[in-house]
Structure 1
Amino acid sequence: MFSSLRVRNYRLFAAGQVVSNTGTWMQRIAQDWLVLSLTGSSAAVGITTALQFLPMLLLGLYGGVIADRYPKRQLLLMSQAAMGLTGLALAALTLSGHVQVWHVYVTALLLGLVTVVDNPVRQAFVVEMVGQADLRNAVSLNSANFQSARLVGPAVAGVLISAVGSGWAFLLNGLSFAAPIAALLLMRTAELHPAVTAPRGKGQLREGLRHVAERPELIWPIVLVGFIGTFGFNFPIWLTAFVNDVFHADASTYGLLNTLMAAGSLAGALLAARRGSSRFRLLVGAALLFGLLEIAAALAPSFWFFALLLVPIGMCGLTINVTANSGIQLASDPALRGRVMSLFMMVFMGGTPLGAPLVGWITDAYGPRVGFLAGGAVSLLAAAGVGLALTRAVGVRLRVDLRRGHQHVVFVPRRRTTEESAGESAGDSAGNAAGGSPGGSAERVAAPAA
């Protein structure tokens, strides 16, 4: 479960990140509650979230080009310092009593611009610290690290907001970035696994997009996380609305709900760290269950039933993220990994500017329950659609057998039509004539799905 921690550079990285992530979660909670206090609007919370992720949607692929072109450790030093400065600026405005909602909007947008580079670089830097063998484990532990901080950050933020206000949470977040900066400076560069850097050239964005489009094991998981990230992960909007409008509670309750979700996410991350592979069926199954659980939470009759459902929701959401993330990294060409991961992060996080205002408007207009239910329904439908597409891509179909003594649900080879068989035979003949191997594309798809 913790094999990646044998690597000194990764231990330093993980230690710095847990401090910084705790501060980040404190700022997220404080920022959402500050906007709600200033405006009284769930849509305003959605706008703040959208502004933070809008740069990823518009510029995310360029962040991937930068990640592939320049040394990642130096890029992380600059991005982490810039993110710390945004926290300190918001702290100064809030503690001085001059903060207005547009200040929060601007700070969120600036943070999003830095994230365009920071996210793909941080994702692609993992393999440089631990190598290919421990990549899946390190990705899972990164998520466990993030969720461990999520257990502490919201709870501390809730207490600070209730006791002394949001400004101190912003201040502590700004100071917390000293830890990852120190960790990066203390790393032994000779022990890193340097990646091949891409030289300047035309068409690098198109090259990355073409690489993804030609590989079903890349494109369909990215499509799935895009739908779920856009419509299913709008928890700042839903949880603030449920706390304020349904349960009529305060910031400490909001922190409690985030902590419960983090507990489930942490469990999901640790379970993912124990797994030896990332399977498509696990990804799709977790996405289906995620949508069903969100619908159930939207209809929850009581506070504690709602709160307890957040634990498995967090577990499923984390499983989706880790399984897609590690599977995509391992299936990508190393020279294109930064661009592939930037596309992954762009659709996962960059879809929020599209989904958050819409979900915020639905929540304001029709109530928190309808907003939450709509997000769960979209996630469920996306999982079903992508699951069908993946089964066709790997040449299998789902068979249900309810007879006693038989395996009830199993994947079996899909029967080919006459046209498909003829087309495949023609393709194999052409491939053999050209000196290639038949069915190369199918082999490439089937391997990670096994």
Structure 2
Amino acid sequence: MRALRLPHLSSLRAFEHPGYLAVWLGALISNIGTWMETVAMGVYVTQETGRAEWTGGIVALAFLPSVILSPLGGALADRFDRRVYVALGIAVQLVLAAVLTVLAFIGELTVPIVGVVTLLNGCASTLTNPAFSAMLAELVPPRDLHSAMSLNSAQYNLGRIVGPLLAALVLQMGGASWALLINTLSFVASLIALSRVTLPSRDTPRTKESLWAGITRGISVARADEDISRVLWGTLFVAALVAPFIGLVPVFAINVFGQGAAATSLLVACQGAGAVVAAVVVGTLADALGHRKLLGFAAMSIGVVSAVYWMSPTLTVAAAVIFVLGANYLTLMSGLHAFATSRVPRDMQARVSSLYSMVLGGGYAAGVWALGALADRVGVRFVTVTASVIFLALVLTLRLLSPRSFDDSRA
């Protein structure tokens, strides 16, 4: 595959590296299928139960394993050939997707089964994601790491645009079973892409330390770096208080606006579109403003934008605001991830990435379930707007207590 030459768009520089581009395209196809499944199962659970707590709980099961397994995944990623390790994880996810597909076609799919498969899939992806992130870092030079992370988020969100739109069409024409079948087949694209990639040789010899020692060393490195610690705390608060807007989209569309799968798909696609637009420009903005300033602006604004989204009076307004929210969320989260990863040597990047995934997944799992449960009792809008305001208050407090936290003049 030939490299793309995009000299005037620093946000797209990672595409100049053929290995990265191949993996990116394979992951995009796979994520289109994943988002078809996500929308189909979100609508299924919401319609079957009618409760935000169930919808949020099923979503939480996908991220709950990250609390325990992310550090293990990071340590394992530094012990094996990352390409083979990632391929194995994808193969497991393919099998789980096939199980859901078969059960749907024979009419044996139930909400508890969806929950069990979601939990197992969360285990597989949690163990694989640190290796995948570290593999991306190996495919580009350090100066293009922010571009690589942002574009990886962009392909995820392109899948968020195309997948829900296809899901709405497939659900209307053939039902959930066909959406699940397409997702199962989409994993093949990632496996083909990985087969065409050769990773560069490691600069350092493979570690001989024990698995537990590798995990604890990663934690120690993160704790010793004040900036990485701050990034992880920030990620936790975003995940618990703001990010649940992603998993609760079916609740907002169905229970608040009285719509169905089409409205759910619209909101998910609009969020993805905003994220893709942000991914195209975020690297250039980071170069122009500085990484810390851009992160500071994104952190300040996301609480406000999130609150406005949850107060939207109509579906049309919500679709417009979630576009902005999607852009804001990608800017903040890809920036936090890239910033933390860039502060450690390559042999530690998978472990730092795993800590980021642990905090993000654990915070999101707790937040989406808790907000969903509270929403059933006191109302979706009240709970989610309150969470957004709390996050904004935390950011303002950090600004007052540590005004230089996002100052690029710091070393």
Instruction: Please indicate, yes or no, whether the TM-score normalized by the shorter chain is above 0.5.
Output: yes
Alignment partners' CA distance in 1, 2:105 and 2:244: 28
What is the match of residue 419 of structure 1?
none
**Aligned with 2:312: secondary structure?**
coil
Alignment partners' CA distance in 2, 1:205 and 1:10: 27
Report whether the alignment pairs 1:107 with 2:154: no
What is the match of residue 3 of structure 2?
none
**Aligned with 2:107: secondary structure?**
coil
Following superposition, the deviation at residue 389 of structure 1 comes to: 5.3
**Aligned with 1:263: secondary structure?**
helix
Following superposition, the deviation at residue 354 of structure 1 comes to: 1.5
Of 184, 190, 194 in structure 2, the residue corresponding to residue 180 of structure 1 is 190
Alignment partners' CA distance in 2, 1:272 and 1:193: 30
Largest Rg, 1 or 2: 1
Report whether the alignment pairs 1:116 with 2:80: no
Following superposition, the deviation at residue 390 of structure 1 comes to: 4.8
What is the match of residue 77 of structure 1?
87
Alignment partners' CA distance in 2, 1:29 and 1:321: 22
What is the match of residue 208 of structure 2?
199
**Aligned with 1:130: secondary structure?**
coil
Q: One-letter code of the match for 2:410? A: A
Q: One-letter code of the match for 1:314? A: G
Of 37, 54, 73 in structure 2, the residue corresponding to residue 44 of structure 1 is 54
| Aligned residues of 1:287 and 1:379 also touching (Cα < 8 A) | no
Following superposition, the deviation at residue 122 of structure 1 comes to: 0.8
Following superposition, the deviation at residue 287 of structure 1 comes to: 1.7
Which string of whole-angstrom CA distances, capped at 9 and with x for unpartnered residues, describes residues 22-45 of structure 1? 111111111111111221111111
Greater Cα offset, 18-27 or 198-207: 198-207
Of 126, 146, 156 in structure 1, the residue corresponding to residue 156 of structure 2 is 146
Report whether the alignment pairs 1:219 with 2:229: yes
Note closer, same or farther for the CA distance 1:55–1:389 as it changes in structure 2 (3 Å cut): farther
What is the match of residue 407 of structure 1?
none
| Aligned residues of 1:45 and 1:236 also touching (Cα < 8 A) | no
> How many residues align structurally?
397
Of 357, 360, 381 in structure 2, the residue corresponding to residue 369 of structure 1 is 381
What is the match of residue 406 of structure 1?
none
Unaligned ranges ≥5, structure 1: 397-410, 412-444
Following superposition, the deviation at residue 263 of structure 1 comes to: 1.0
What is the match of residue 260 of structure 1?
270
Q: One-letter code of the match for 1:293? A: V
Task: Calculate the aligned-residue CA RMSD, in Å.
Answer: 1.9
Following superposition, the deviation at residue 276 of structure 1 comes to: 5.1
Greater Cα offset, 193-202 or 314-323: 193-202
Following superposition, the deviation at residue 387 of structure 1 comes to: 3.8
Note closer, same or farther for the CA distance 1:70–1:159 as it changes in structure 2 (3 Å cut): same
Of 29, 32, 51 in structure 2, the residue corresponding to residue 22 of structure 1 is 32
Report whether the alignment pairs 1:55 with 2:65: yes
RCO (CA 8 Å, sep 6+): is it higher in 1 or 2? 2
Alignment partners' CA distance in 2, 1:214 and 1:50: 30
Alignment partners' CA distance in 2, 1:319 and 1:193: 31
Q: One-letter code of the match for 2:20? A: Y
Q: One-letter code of the match for 1:268? A: A
Alignment of 1:398-409 (within 5 A): none
Alignment of 1:329-344 (within 5 A): 329-344=341-356
What is the match of residue 282 of structure 1?
294
| Aligned residues of 1:288 and 1:379 also touching (Cα < 8 A) | no
Following superposition, the deviation at residue 48 of structure 1 comes to: 0.6
Following superposition, the deviation at residue 195 of structure 1 comes to: 5.4
Alignment of 1:254-333 (within 5 A): 254-275=264-285, 277=287, 279-333=291-345
Alignment partners' CA distance in 2, 1:134 and 1:303: 38
Note closer, same or farther for the CA distance 1:150–1:237 as it changes in structure 2 (3 Å cut): closer
Alignment partners' CA distance in 1, 2:400 and 2:207: 36
Q: Please report the TM-score for the alignment, with normalisation by the length of structure 2.
A: 0.92
Report whether the alignment pairs 1:245 with 2:209: no
Alignment partners' CA distance in 2, 1:224 and 1:285: 13
